[in-house]
Structure 1
């Protein structure tokens, strides 16, 4: 009797063991399925992110083609029109009128040259092929050179320009020509968009901790804060018309951002409370060539 019970209990235990084994196999299988499901979900997310990036790149490409095509076509059309008129009228055209036509053609050629240069510059920066020609300079000399080169244009528009640079600004390492490019772009924009009746531009510079901060301020229409966050994006200016006037190809500020960031600095825009805009550039103060830093 006892043996019979034990035997029955042994059979019962074996069945339980088998059930437990099967349960463990099911649990193990479920774990594997969960792992595979998680991997599949991650793969799906990666594919979605890749698709989003491709979509973004496609949009950037479309913007590039739209902008460059438009920017190339406009001056080319103007040059062709002017040239056809010159050929058609020939000696019948007054010397002064002929001179105006030729000056317009020269300006359009310069516009084309700038656009091509901007596109090539941007490609170098984004591909990582742009190298800086670093040396120790005084940033105030950059401002002096830019102001001097643009003085005639500023005065012709009767714009009041104030330059206030602290004497204590130290020298630092930077690419002189590239910084001239940055501040030429900023001052050119300020000249273009400041108030037409009572234009005013102020340039200030001073040291803040271990950085040099320079501001270019105009009293134009200004840009709202939300759009200011994207003003350094490629093509954004031309495609979205942030101001009442077009900003050209929309590459200038994007290039400025690349130049400043390559120096380890930052550039940003702050809308001025009483209308207008303030563009600020901050660059670190380096005692040595910073490309040799670890």
Structure 2
């Protein structure tokens, strides 16, 4: 196409378009200033709470804390600092609460950033609303409120992407049974059974033994019959005889029944005894 025949729209489209001529348009929601402020406060509520607490302690009690440390000797101040650091490091309810809240805040921000990058938006440009984030033994649980135009189908096959964005092991996405607009995302960061040693009363005989001392067939040897006490019976060790024509030696084969029987074989006749000692030769 000659340069003189190019239109103004063609030149504008050529700057932001790709090789296929497509343009991606992202619409931002038109919200008022009070709504934007409220959403920002809700999103950064824990950070604002921590900053407000630090400011309050510094203004209201900063002078008293400074005077207390100045009045004490240096060794006592060092001891207080060591005790305070040890209390923070050790496992206690306050430390668990702070760590759980820290990871909940991180999970909310990372999930929102992941939704923005995945373009999980409706046509008005609104993201799913993050209602709450709770801590569990394995990680966190995030509840989403899907805006009009969004549903759980927009998050199909996105579990691995969300887990990678939240620095977690895995993620499970499920819809509420009562309301389709409520979506539950479970972020799994740890496995509580990975480092737990489970003991069973059924393994008292071998739980304290090293693995090399336990044979592979220890269970089968325990369940097998005890053949060391008495010698096996010859009548039970021999295979059952079958009835039929006589062989070359003159002996006949007898077929035993399913019950426990004892067969006495001779050259002239065959006698089959039942379990109670009764002669059942005529019935066979």
Q: Give the TM-score band, short-chain normalised.
A: under 0.3
Max Rg structure? 2
- TM-score between both structures, scaled by the size of structure 1: 0.22
- Highest RCO, 1 vs 2 (Cα 8 Å, sep ≥ 6): 1
